[in-house]
Amino acid sequence: MNDSRPGWQQLSLMVSGADAERHSDALLAAGALAVTLSDAGDNPVLEPPPGETPLWEQVCLTGLFAGDCDRTDAWLQLAAALLPGPVPAARWSELGERPWNDLWREHFRPRHCGGHLWICPSWCDPPEPAAVNLLLDPGLAFGSGDHPTTALCLEWLAA
């Protein structure tokens, strides 16, 4: 049976860090287009020593599948890839069709740099039209402007 769904589907599994790679490979074998590993708790992995790739004790693996994938078939392929071991508890969810290329813009607003200087993304109206408004999109040779050295330079320019 093929469940026809728009957008994307994702299958999330909770596994131990030691099993993450094997389960990630199994999700890809089951048809996942991408697999994301995230912390199942709140245990940040900060700057590890060179050559080390630490993982969390518990990992949430999320496999991204096409919207029209057959969930039953994907589940059977996942189970086959994990033999002889069991398949961990999992949860399917749907991601509706969204304009992913533009969603990141929601997180960037005009940035007040001090004085009358503002950095404004092109899709936002300047909050103070009479101020010095530099229209610059994040990522185009500038980034977001949040880096401490960039922020200091902007404050200096505004002074």
Domain extent listing, the chain: 8-98, 106-158
Q: Do 63 and 11 contact (CB within 8 A), yes or no?
A: yes
Strands 132-135, 117-120: pairing kind: parallel
Q: Do 63 and 27 contact (CB within 8 A), yes or no?
A: yes
Average pLDDT along the chain: 87
Query: Residue 120 above 70 pLDDT?
Result: yes
Residues in the chain: 159
Which token pair is 33?
């287009």
Q: What's the CATH fold of domain 8-98?
A: Alpha-Beta Plaits (3.30.70)
Q: Do 78 and 26 contact (CB within 8 A), yes or no?
A: yes
Non-local CB neighbours of 140 within 8 Å, separated by 6+ positions: none
Q: Do 9 and 92 contact (CB within 8 A), yes or no?
A: yes
Query: Residue 59 above 70 pLDDT?
Result: yes
Predicted confidence (pLDDT) per residue in 17-52, tens digit: 999 999 999 999 999 999 999 998 888 878 888 988
Which token pair is 85?
């071991």
Number of Cβ atoms within 10 Å of the Cβ of 4 = 8
Give residue for tokens 């990141």.
Answer: 104
- Residue among 7, 65, 3 at smallest CA distance from 35: 65
135: pLDDT confidence band, cut at 50, 70 and 90? confident
